[in-house]
Structure 1
Amino acid sequence: MKKGLIAALKIIIPLGIGVYLTWFFISNLTDVELQNLKNAFLKADYRFIFIGIIIMLLSHMSRAYRWKYLLAPLGHTPNFWKMYHSVMIGYLINLTIPRSGEVARAGYYAKFQKKAPFEKVFGTIIVERIIDVIMLGIVMGITLYFQKDVEAFNSIKNTGNSGGGIPTWGYFLAALLIVVGFVLIMSVPKIKLKVREILRGLYEGVSTILQLKQRTAYVLHTIFIWVCYVLMLWVCSFALPETANLSINAVFAAFVVGGIAISATPGGIGLYPLMVAAVLSNLYNIENAESFSMLAWTSLTAFTILAGLVSLVALPFISKKQAALSE
């Protein structure tokens, strides 16, 4: 009962914050802006939204294909569709609890791939996240280089921060939990053995980056994925006349704050339109920026949900079919 309540709260609280931010965003629109928002959804050129979704799909497929380079040193020759569907399920789960998709992705793949221990698979995903942080840093560097008013950009980038920070007692509580956890692990042999096995598996997964045989291909896929991320937002901007002429500066700025929003709330719900609109309207004087940010976020998120749901059904089916063929 208690575990179920905690699990439910982990989903309800982030989604609740997102719903509140969505309400806050829409409720602060003027009557004219609300009408513009309705008109944007009715009159948008969805050909460009469709192209943006295709680019998004290509980035996900590239990420799935790139994953095999890290799984190979573990002795796996995985089916591409198993990797792809695991990736898409991860994105879907991320819409409930931020960053929980990585665990779900490793769990689903390990469940449907023979001889794929969760710890080792999760270790390869940790590697991916480290690479993503490096790439995000590079993109942020490019973005800051492009910005004329860095101070204004930084103020908007921090829109999603609460401002209060973590209270002092929070650090002491975290330290206490770490100490208690360490003592518990060291004093109970079964727990100590289990933790050691988990850490060994994670290490083997993470160390696969040092055993890559096709490093050039891995790097090229990484570049392709991040180019797609920026490109899909730029392509979607052509759907509305007010944003059809966005400068490269504006595209990079909107992408960075949008990425921050997505990491802060489930899928960026509420916060993504708020922050992207703030950047485009305040820094670049883009009219109807609220409509574009809501249109782009809604379209791309809807595709993620649909593709994720399809993958939830397809992954078990593919695994059963593959198992039947191998018998």
Structure 2
Amino acid sequence: MLNLKSVLKYLFLFCMGIGILYLAFKDQNLGQIWAEIKNANFLWVALSAISVWIAHVLRALRWRMLFHSINYNVTFWNTYHAVIIGYLANLALPRFGEIGRCSVMLKSEKVPMFASIGTVITERLFDMFMLLLSALLMLIFQYDLVSDFLFNSIYVNIAAKIHSINYLWSIVLIVLILCIILAAIYFIRKALNKKFLRIYVGLKQGFNSYSNLQNKSLFITYTLGIWVFYFSSMYLAFSAIQATSGLGLNVGFTALVFSSFAMVAPVQGGLGVFHWMVAQALVLYAVPFKDGLAYATILHSSQFLLTIILGCLSLLLVFSKRIKTNHI
């Protein structure tokens, strides 16, 4: 059960996403944006959504490999349903999907919760590596374009904020943070009893899942495949509307990196942040911001709808299987 503090936190994050969405659209011609969306070629939107679905399948196959490496012979379909249900949970509560999919594996495959969490952290580290590698390649091959955006939109704003900070309050804040960290370390060490030892053992087992893999090259292939199909989704969606139909592979790659950083934000489904970041990525290539918003809205909406449909279907199948098992 969520307590009041958690509810308020997630409500705040949702409102923040709505706020960013409002700021992105407030000075735009909504009629023109809606006209572009309404006249979109939805065949390309469907192909884009299929690419995302294939990436989800590859993610399930990759995750299953980690379970097998620590001697849990889980089935593909239970792993797949857990992944999809996790994405569905993320639409309601950011980052809750990781716990949600581990809970599904606990119920369907009897995999201990913290062993599952260890495998999730392991695969997320590979995803983060791929994101940072993609960002580095973007900077190397498109430095002139991206560096201008980073300087004007990010560095200048951060520098202005830093100059406006009262340094006395900064010192007080740093000291307070250090005190909180020291207190946390003290209480964690004090609370290290048998329960925490079991948690540690479970997490360690999950962390060791990659090192125990017999076919690491296949795991890497799945990881690359996931990102290739994410890129494919971005690129195929360009053909959905006239304003983006002529954009090249390099633009798709930049949009992928920007959108991936947007999805890291602790906001339900990247709401608002995704739209702003993708539109900003396209502005670098002389695409008007309103057209970028139309493209981002089509892409985000198609993925949102895909997650709702697949997530509800997976939930239905998992629950129906549990009901049948309980009646046997």
- Which amino acid is the alignment partner of residue 24 of structure 2? F
Q: How many angstroms does 1:296 deviate by?
A: 1.2
Name the structure 2 match of 1:133: 128
State the alpha-carbon separation in 1 of the partners of residues 57 and 134 from structure 2: 21
Moved more, 250-259 or 163-172: 163-172
Name the structure 2 match of 1:241: 242
Name the structure 2 match of 1:105: 101
2:32 paired residue among 22, 29, 36: 36
Measured against aligned partners, the alpha-carbon deviations of 1:107-142 in whole angstroms (never above 9, x if no partner) come to 22112212x110111100110011011111221122
- Structure 2 matches for 1:186-265, cutoff 5 A? 186-188=189-191, 192-264=193-265, 265=267
Name the structure 1 match of 2:300: 297
Measured against aligned partners, the alpha-carbon deviations of 1:277-326 in whole angstroms (never above 9, x if no partner) come to 12212x111142221121111211221233223222222223444677xx
- Which amino acid is the alignment partner of residue 262 of structure 1? M
State the alpha-carbon separation in 2 of the partners of residues 149 and 55 from structure 1: 28
Measured against aligned partners, the alpha-carbon deviations of 1:44-89 in whole angstroms (never above 9, x if no partner) come to 0000000011110000011001111110122211121111111112
Moved more, 72-81 or 142-151: 142-151
User: What is the TM-score with the length of structure 1 in the denominator?
Assistant: 0.88
Name the structure 2 match of 1:11: 10
Local SS of the residue matching 1:152: helix
- Which amino acid is the alignment partner of residue 268 of structure 1? G
State the alpha-carbon separation in 2 of the partners of residues 276 and 143 from structure 1: 15
State the alpha-carbon separation in 2 of the partners of residues 182 and 248 from structure 1: 47
Q: How many angstroms does 1:93 deviate by?
A: 2.0
State the alpha-carbon separation in 2 of the partners of residues 298 and 162 from structure 1: 31
1:145 pairs with 2:140: yes
Name the structure 2 match of 1:267: 269
Name the structure 1 match of 2:179: 176
State the alpha-carbon separation in 2 of the partners of residues 14 and 199 from structure 1: 30
Measured against aligned partners, the alpha-carbon deviations of 1:177-203 in whole angstroms (never above 9, x if no partner) come to 343333334445xx5221121111101
- Which amino acid is the alignment partner of residue 21 of structure 1? I
Measured against aligned partners, the alpha-carbon deviations of 1:227-278 in whole angstroms (never above 9, x if no partner) come to 0011101001100111011122211111111111111122211111112112
Name the structure 2 match of 1:25: 24
Unaligned runs of 5+ in 2: none
State the alpha-carbon separation in 2 of the partners of residues 210 and 314 from structure 1: 33
State the alpha-carbon separation in 2 of the partners of residues 192 and 263 from structure 1: 33
State the alpha-carbon separation in 2 of the partners of residues 150 and 231 from structure 1: 21
State the alpha-carbon separation in 2 of the partners of residues 87 and 156 from structure 1: 38
State the alpha-carbon separation in 2 of the partners of residues 184 and 138 from structure 1: 37
Moved more, 241-250 or 224-233: 241-250
Q: How many angstroms does 1:213 deviate by?
A: 1.0
User: What is the TM-score with the length of structure 2 in the denominator?
Assistant: 0.88
- Structure 2 matches for 1:27-66, cutoff 5 A? 27-29=26-28, 33-66=29-62
State the alpha-carbon separation in 2 of the partners of residues 133 and 89 from structure 1: 21
State the alpha-carbon separation in 1 of the partners of residues 223 and 189 from structure 2: 40
RMSD: 2.5
State the alpha-carbon separation in 1 of the partners of residues 20 and 107 from structure 2: 36
